[in-house]
């Protein structure tokens, strides 16, 4: 499972033995590099960055840390080891050997899942393109570039599957992944959250906390796939994804810590007083949280979805931790609660579990996200002001699914459209909030120094000190 870096495209899939595939990917490679140069992280070509590079796909011990010139970074194709005897573990084909080739009748659906997953990866790089100019520290700048190169590699992961298993239309789709652009009105990225801007580092940490966590749940579901190459690809991607969520989680913890330090020092939680100290007040953090949480809720799709039912029953996309669930893995007779608005209230009704798989995954995600938010609240508890950060209700500010038509406040009350609009500025970031957060975003690149609004991390990367020179400007 060691990765061969002597090849033009580093890989652990014995690419050299397949001339046609090698040629196709070698044609895609310069186009990828052109995309990276045009729309990837700004002004990075000549930087030396202390990066983690995958050297093996075996769990524990797959990474090497060293300075890498960004222009020399080697993207490649890495799949987790094959599990002999692996089976399709759910749906109509449960118990059959996992597929090593695409089942012809499921080709279009499988391609669509891979394209949707693949599209998010370059999108996030595009969204984060400008952030290097306003980094709060060298440590954070290095983490941003680590996320960016790995999202680039996740694009490689999906482009490989398209090239290797879908022939001509796979090649066309891999090409289209390099052509859509986040936020472009003519040719946008596929999913809503990936067309939203990430204009500042608070948004970046919220994104890596909330939206990368959707990545975890979707990748875990795809890692259950009966199509073994997709499963193995996603299993390796998950090892990288964990680090992206760590960046979101620790970044948000450090922001909350800094705010709480200022609350203790000023003996006040008044937003204007705190803003004058150069920290982000809790009310502003709550509004950003409401936005990022609700945008991420939409990424799970409609509450009731025949697509999701088909993906499951045909063995293409499972549930989170499918094999640990104790049921029939067919879901033919089960049901699952979903919400609808009735008589001006949200009420739970039952839908067939097979059709409610998006809702089930959304609920699994919410438990995980809430556990992270409760860790921030433990920091707030220590300053004894009784405030809390809280995930809004899952029906708040929805754009996808039947709840998109409802006006629901963050506590889950159905309100009139007028009342919702009248309160928008209490619930979601305002232009003034964004301007204030933007005003904090100065560039801090002196080793060991941090911007006013974020505490230093508890420890550095790979046992290096916090004041290590994580990025060298040459």
Would you list the DSSP string of 363-400? HHHHHHHHHHHHHHHHHHHHTT------PPPTTTT--S
Residue placing its CB nearer to ligand BYC in the complex, 70 or 223: 223
Q: Could you say which of 63, 366, 400, 415 contacts ligand BYC (CB under 6 A)?
A: 400
Would you list the DSSP string of 283-313? HHHHHHHHHHHHHHHHTT--SS-HHHHHHHH
Q: Which residue has the tokens 């999906």?
A: 158
CA distance 187 to 185: 6
CB of 310 to ligand BYC, least distance (A): 9
Q: Does 300 bind ligand BYC (CB under 6 A)?
A: yes
Q: Could you say which of 22, 116, 374, 430 contacts ligand BYC (CB under 6 A)?
A: 116
CB of 306 to ligand BYC, least distance (A): 7
Q: Does 120 bind ligand BYC (CB under 6 A)?
A: yes
Q: Could you say which of 11, 53, 124, 286 contacts ligand BYC (CB under 6 A)?
A: 124
Paired sense of beta strands 335-342 and 48-54, if any: unpaired
Q: Does 215 bind ligand BYC (CB under 6 A)?
A: yes
Within 10 angstroms of residue 276's Cβ, the number of other Cβ atoms is 11
- Residues 79 to 108: which contact ligand BYC by CB under 6 A? none
Give the distance, in angstroms, between the CA of residue 88 and the centroid of all CA atoms in the same chain: 26
Q: Which stretch binds ligand BYC (CB under 6 A): 35-43, 115-123, 169-177, 371-379?
A: 115-123
Integer CA distances (angstroms), 57 to 54, 155, 289, in order: 7, 17, 35
Q: Which stretch binds ligand BYC (CB under 6 A): 31-39, 270-278, 299-307, 332-340?
A: 299-307
Structure tokens given for 473: 């400007």
Would you list the DSSP string of 398-445? --SSGGGGS-B-TTS-B--HHHHHHHHHHHS--HHHHHHHHHH-----
Q: Does 302 bind ligand BYC (CB under 6 A)?
A: yes
Map residues 336-375 to x or -, x wherever contact with ligand BYC holds by CB under 6 A. Answer: ----------------------x-----------------
Q: Which stretch binds ligand BYC (CB under 6 A): 67-75, 262-270, 293-301, 378-386?
A: 293-301
Q: Which stretch binds ligand BYC (CB under 6 A): 11-19, 22-30, 61-69, 112-120?
A: 112-120
- Residues 173 to 192: which contact ligand BYC by CB under 6 A? 191-192
- The answer for residues whose C-beta is within 8 angstroms of residue 411's C-beta and 6 or more apart is 392, 393
* Contact by Cβ (8 Å): 298, 69: no
Site residues for ligand BYC per CB under 6 A: 113, 116-117, 120-121, 124, 151, 191-192, 211-212, 214-215, 218, 298-302, 305, 307-308, 317, 358, 400
């Amino acid at each position: 499972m060691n990765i061969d870096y002597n090849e033009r495209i580093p890989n652990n899939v014995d690419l050299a033995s397949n001339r046609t595939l090698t040629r196709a990917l070698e044609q895609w490679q310069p186009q990828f590099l052109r995309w990276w140069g045009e729309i990837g992280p700004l002004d990075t070509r000549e930087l030396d960055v202390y990066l983690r590079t995958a050297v093996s796909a075996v769990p524990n011990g797959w990474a090497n840390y060293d300075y890498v010139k960004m222009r020399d970074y080697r993207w490649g194709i890495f799949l987790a080891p094959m599990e002999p005897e692996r089976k399709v573990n759910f749906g109509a084909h449960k118990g059959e050997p996992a597929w090593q080739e695409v089942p012809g009748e499921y080709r279009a659906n499988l391609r669509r899942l891979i394209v949707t997953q693949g599209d998010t990866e370059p999108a996030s790089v595009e969204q984060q393109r400008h952030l290097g100019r306003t980094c709060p520290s060298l440590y954070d700048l290095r983490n941003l570039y680590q996320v960016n190169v790995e999202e680039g590699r996740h694009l490689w992961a999906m482009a490989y599957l398209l090239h290797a298993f879908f022939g001509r239309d796979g090649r066309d789709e891999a090409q289209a992944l390099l052509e859509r652009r986040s936020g472009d009105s003519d040719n946008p990225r596929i999913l809503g959250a990936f067309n939203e801007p990430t204009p500042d580092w608070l948004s970046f940490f919220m994104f890596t906390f909330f939206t990368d966590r959707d990545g975890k749940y979707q990748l875990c579901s795809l890692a259950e796939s009966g199509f073994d190459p997709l499963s193995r690809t996603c299993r390796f991607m998950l090892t990288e994804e964990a680090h992206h969520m760590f960046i979101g989680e620790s970044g948000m913890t450090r922001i909350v810590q800094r705010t709480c330090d200022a609350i203790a020092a000023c003996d006040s939680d008044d937003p204007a007083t705190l803003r004058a100290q150069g920290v982000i007040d809790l009310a502003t953090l709550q509004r950003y949280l409401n936005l990022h949480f609700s945008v991420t809720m939409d990424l799970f799709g409609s509450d009731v979805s025949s697509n999701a039912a088909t993906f499951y029953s045909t063995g293409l996309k499972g549930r989170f931790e499918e094999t640990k669930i104790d049921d029939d893995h067919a879901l033919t007779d089960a049901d699952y609660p979903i919400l609808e608005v009735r008589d001006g209230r949200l009420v739970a009704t039952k839908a067939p579990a097979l059709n409610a798989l998006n809702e089930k995954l959304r609920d699994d995600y919410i438990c995980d996200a809430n556990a992270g938010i409760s860790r921030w609240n433990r920091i707030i508890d220590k300053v004894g002001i009784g405030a809390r950060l809280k995930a809004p209700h899952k029906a708040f500010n929805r754009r996808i699914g039947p709840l998109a038509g409802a006006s629901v406040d963050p506590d889950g009350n159905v309100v009139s459209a007028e009342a919702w609009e009248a309160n928008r500025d209490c619930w979601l970031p305002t232009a003034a909030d964004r301007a204030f957060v933007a005003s904090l975003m100065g560039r801090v690149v002196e080793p060991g120094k941090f911007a006013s609004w974020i505490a230093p991390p508890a420890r550095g990367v790979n046992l290096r000190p916090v004041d290590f020179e994580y990025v060298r400007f040459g």
